[in-house]
Structure 1
Amino acid sequence: MRERIGRLRARALAIAERRLPALTRLKQPEALPILLHRRRLYVLPTAFGVALGGLLALMGLGALNYDNNPALILAFLLASTAHTSLLQGYLALRGLRLVAVHAEPVHAGETLQLQCHFDAAESRPRHGIELVRGAQSSFFSMPSEGESVVTLTVPAEHRGWLSVGRLSLRTRRPLGLFVVWSWLHPQARVLVYPRPEAHAPPLPKPSRNGAPQRRRGPDEEIHGLRDYRRGDALRTVAWKRSAQAGRLLVREFDTPGGRDAVLDWHTLAGLGAEQRIARLTRWLLEAERQGLRSELRLPGRQIGPDRGPLHRHRCLRELALLPA
């Protein structure tokens, strides 16, 4: 009996999803790009629109009662204007397409600048469009051709992946009589770095290894060449050798007795997991500020030693995605 009830429930749910695609779409994240077509747009009159509709109804009844043709013409003229404003608001949203969502990572406790990229499948100018996420909103316009980047300020409260969530796109132009809106639920997420410890102890003393360490610097002796990596200074690029090889090559330098800051998870045994993450985050940022190479040692993995924006991002990403 239970299996039969379960089959009937599943069949009813499948029928509902086929017959009510607009309602089920609001609950499920969608892959980008998301196109706004006529079945995704909803229209309701505003309070001003309802008041104007009531006034026009009274004007029409009074004109018919007193056989006043000019008043009747005026009522129909105002009604046609309201209908045209509804059509303009509908056309402002139809054909819009959300193509990308991204944000530069920030630390937990800071505000994230969420950037949404829109373009249009139909070329016409669009004005007075509002993008809403929770309590945050931003107005934007789009030219007849091209795209617009809309920025929303989103609070980043916790480390790890932050889901973009459901967005609302709406407009009340041109007369504010109707509100036309649609829901967007992109299948996208952005990364939030861990919150650094506010009053962390000093950075552990960098280790000094007897063997020469390969470091970048303008005054050291050239050690050799290697492929370019993101974050390398342009002054270290060997332009002549790069032209000969057909790819970017970077000069490496020797610095005897190099200094590496070792950031080891296991040395913080007296702290909880979140406290360890916050302290390692603070030490990593401090090592980058001092220009030191850092080596991050986590359970089951090791990153570095290295330095630069790419190394910092790799370490902060690993710290942010550690299980709670």
Structure 2
Amino acid sequence: MKLWSDRRLRLSLTGLGGQYLLALLAVGAFSVNTGNNLLYLVFSLMLGLFLVSGVLSRRALQGLGVKELEEGNLFARVRGGLRLRLQDSGRGRVRGLELLLSMEDGEVQPSFLGAASRSGETSVVFQVRAGHRGWTRLRRLELRTRFPFGLLEKSRFIDLDQPLLVLPHPRTPPAPPTSWRGEGHRTLAQEGVSSPEGARPLRVGDPPGRVHWKRTAQRSQPWVRTFEEERPLGLHLRIDLSAWAPGRPFERELERLSGAILQARLQKREISLEFHGASGAHEARGYTACWRILAQARAEGSTDRAEAAEGPLS
């Protein structure tokens, strides 16, 4: 049941609020018919409680504004966090707000803001699952409250129209082909004594003395210890956009490259991506830069040419 609605604010009566309002009217009717002062007092207290609920819930929505959106690395078809920074002039005021974010081609889980920040700024994290890579938009932020008694529900809408870049799904890459230049199977160790740092899967050339037996037993495959002074070799990827036609094979290739970048990041390896297209050859370095290039990549080849291509990387 909506009592009042416009573009930015909506006021609605909850189920509990409707029952409370019926009880309030019944007490008022009995007090008028009987002239009982006690019923008048109960009616006044109930009416005051109803009005206080509306006023406090309205105040909980005031003093909030969107300041900045922190994208981070959001992958397609993978649940990730999206941080929204809000201007908050509530000075510690209790809010009890449910925040709902609407996004094109994606699902966003509601978030919650319990109290206002005294610093004038607060952050809210949303769990997001985007459907496809590329640019999408955040349309609207809804601030919803039933604070403090759950009788009235107020909603305030903030239009965002904020662009958001979704990265390709990080598909687990296959065994590294020889066409991936710079793919190293060894690590570069400096002279001197180094302390253990972690563990990684066994590679060709690793000494047997570095086998991590506990991790090997857990993963059912050989793992070795890594050391602080080991420097893994970098990874260089290359793709020719003119060799691919738009379609699912091209998207799978981008997902494999995205997975290779993620694997290199987990292994703390340097990464570079060389891509060829209609505008010429370009090279990107760094995890985020490579991901953003893949997220915006468009196939430039014809179907016949893509079928004649021998491989995705050259």
TM-score, length-scaled by structure 2:
0.65
In the alignment, is the contact (CA less than 8 A) between 1:44 and 1:178 conserved in 2? yes
Matched residue SS, 1:107:
coil
Matched, 1:170 2:148: no
In the TM superposition, what is the alpha-carbon distance from 1:199 to its structure 2 partner?
Answer: 5.1
* Distance in 1, Cα, partners of 2:235 & 2:87: 47
* Distance in 1, Cα, partners of 2:38 & 2:150: 26
Equivalent residue in structure 2 for 1:265, among 232, 240, 264: 240
User: Structure 1 residues 266 and 143 mapped into 2: Cα distance closer, same or farther (>3 Å)?
Assistant: closer
Indicate the structure with greater helix content.
1
Segment drifting more, 41-50 vs 143-152:
143-152
User: Structure 1 residues 273 and 86 mapped into 2: Cα distance closer, same or farther (>3 Å)?
Assistant: same
User: Structure 1 residues 322 and 205 mapped into 2: Cα distance closer, same or farther (>3 Å)?
Assistant: closer
In the TM superposition, what is the alpha-carbon distance from 1:112 to its structure 2 partner?
Answer: 2.4
Matched residue SS, 1:194:
coil
* Distance in 2, Cα, partners of 1:177 & 1:301: 63
In the TM superposition, what is the alpha-carbon distance from 1:91 to its structure 2 partner?
Answer: 0.9
Equivalent in the alignment of 1:194 = 168
Matched residue SS, 1:186:
strand
User: Structure 1 residues 83 and 267 mapped into 2: Cα distance closer, same or farther (>3 Å)?
Assistant: closer
Instruction: Count residues with an aligned counterpart.
Output: 239
Equivalent in the alignment of 1:181 = 155
* Distance in 2, Cα, partners of 1:48 & 1:295: 58
Equivalent residue in structure 2 for 1:302, among 264, 267, 281: 281
User: Structure 1 residues 61 and 296 mapped into 2: Cα distance closer, same or farther (>3 Å)?
Assistant: same
In the alignment, is the contact (CA less than 8 A) between 2:172 and 2:260 conserved in 1? no
- The CA RMSD measured in Å over matched residues stands at 3.2
1:146-295, aligned counterparts within 5 Å?
146-198=120-172, 200-205=174-179, 207=181, 261-265=236-240, 272-286=249-263, 289=267, 291=269, 294-295=272-273
User: Structure 1 residues 322 and 89 mapped into 2: Cα distance closer, same or farther (>3 Å)?
Assistant: same
* Distance in 1, Cα, partners of 2:136 & 2:242: 30
* Distance in 2, Cα, partners of 1:195 & 1:265: 19
One-letter amino acid of the structure 1 residue matched with residue 19 of structure 2: A
TM-score, length-scaled by structure 1:
0.64
* Distance in 1, Cα, partners of 2:25 & 2:244: 76
* Distance in 1, Cα, partners of 2:37 & 2:190: 93
1:119-134, aligned counterparts within 5 Å?
119-121=87-89, 123=91, 125-133=93-101
- Percent identical pairs in the alignment equals 24
